């Protein structure tokens, strides 16, 4: 077997594996999209290309007299956007402090963040519920946002610090020699160069609340305050009124803001992840 034939075989096998993995990922997505156009409430007999396709489920979701879906969508967007903005601000300042300054407890703080990012939020559900109850933040979006922001800080701080460590400190020193203060260096020198990792942190901070069910289900009580994950679950949890096809339609629409955000940040995403993985 010559070298050319060997390369051709390896390339063919690579394409076969990639195509197989692509079909595994794509099939459930196409199936849920097809199910959303399926008439009736049951998913039995659903297929990628349904017979007698209908938009009735989408129309029902947008009918405020029949569904609270638009309220849930707005709640999810509000919680996710505010979580993203607060997380980016806090993580940027914290990561910059750890990257550029030397202070007592710096190494212990980084080690604490490293340990905390291994512990998921739902591991402290009882403590979160009790704390929200005592502070009057139960069934409020503010309480949900604070929990999400707190959970995002450790991992994203460690990730952003790794990226900021790759930005030469000589740029900071040159700016300070020209009279720039700490905040000016941060906003005008470091942050413009850190756009890739900021985009990564923003995307992570948006997706996590938008797709979360466990914490939102614990903290939210009134139906008008539900986020999408909790609201859609209620559609199929009712024993006598399970609306699985409407659930499928609602699930399809969830992907729209995430896809838009990913496309906007796509050019920064890969470079932000790879550079952010360096050791500081």
Rounded CA separation 236/44 (Å) = 14
pLDDT in tens, 117-168: 777 767 788 888 999 999 999 999 999 999 999 888 888 898 899 889 888 8
Give the relative orientation of helices 244-276 and 69-100 as an angle to the nearest 10 degrees: 10
Place of tokens 């942190």: 201
pLDDT score recorded for residue 276? 46
Rounded CA separation 112/236 (Å) = 40
* Most confident listed range (26-30, 109-113, 225-229, 254-258): 225-229
Give the relative orientation of helices 69-100 and 106-116 as an angle to the nearest 10 degrees: 150
Rounded CA separation 199/243 (Å) = 37
| 277 band by pLDDT with thresholds 50, 70 and 90 | very low
Q: Considering only CA atoms, which of 137, 156, 142, 141 is closest in space to residue 87?
A: 156
Classify the phi-psi angles of 159: left when phi > 0, otherwise alpha if psi is within -120 to 50, otherwise beta.
Answer: alpha
Rounded CA separation 234/223 (Å) = 9
Rounded CA separation 279/210 (Å) = 30
Of the candidate ranges 69-73, 146-150, 158-162, 225-229, the one whose mean pLDDT is the lowest: 158-162
pTM passes above 0.85: no
The tally of CA atoms less than 13 A away on the side-chain side of residue 14 is 6
> Domains of the chain, with CATH numbers?
3-57 (no CATH), 67-276 (1.10.3720.10)
Rounded CA separation 192/127 (Å) = 39
Q: Strands, E, within the chain: which ranges? A: none
pLDDT score recorded for residue 60? 87
Element containing residue 127 per DSSP (H, E): helix 125-135
């Amino acid at each position: 077997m010559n070298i050319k034939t060997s390369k051709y075989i390896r390339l063919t096998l690579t394409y076969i594996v990639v195509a197989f993995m692509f079909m595994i990922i794509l099939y459930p997505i196409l199936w849920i999209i097809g199910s959303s156009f399926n008439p009736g409430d049951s998913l039995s007999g659903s297929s990628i290309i349904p017979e007698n396709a209908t938009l009735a489920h989408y129309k029902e979701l947008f009918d405020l007299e029949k569904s609270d879906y638009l309220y849930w969508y707005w709640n999810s967007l509000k919680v996710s956007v505010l979580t993203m903005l607060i997380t980016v601000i806090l993580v940027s300042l914290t990561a910059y402090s750890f990257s550029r300054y030397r202070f007592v407890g710096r190494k212990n703080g980084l080690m604490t963040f490293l340990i905390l990012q291994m512990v998921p939020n739902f591991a402290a559900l009882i403590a979160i519920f009790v704390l929200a109850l005592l502070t009057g933040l139960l069934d409020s979006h503010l309480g949900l946002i604070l929990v999400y922001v707190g959970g995002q800080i450790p991992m994203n701080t460690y990730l952003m610090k790794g990226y900021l460590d790759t930005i030469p400190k000589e740029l900071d020193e040159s700016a300070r020699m020209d009279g720039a203060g700490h905040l000016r260096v941060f906003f005008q020198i470091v942050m413009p160069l850190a756009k890739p990792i900021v985009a990564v942190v923003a995307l992570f901070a948006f997706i996590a609340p938008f797709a979360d069910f466990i914490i939102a289900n614990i903290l939210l009580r009134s139906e008008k305050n539900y986020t999408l994950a909790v609201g859609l679950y209620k559609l199929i949890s009712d024993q006598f009124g399970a609306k699985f096809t409407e659930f499928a339609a609602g699930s399809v629409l969830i992907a729209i803001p995430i896809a838009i955000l990913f496309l906007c940040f796509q050019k920064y995403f890969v470079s932000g992840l790879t550079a952010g993985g360096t050791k500081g």
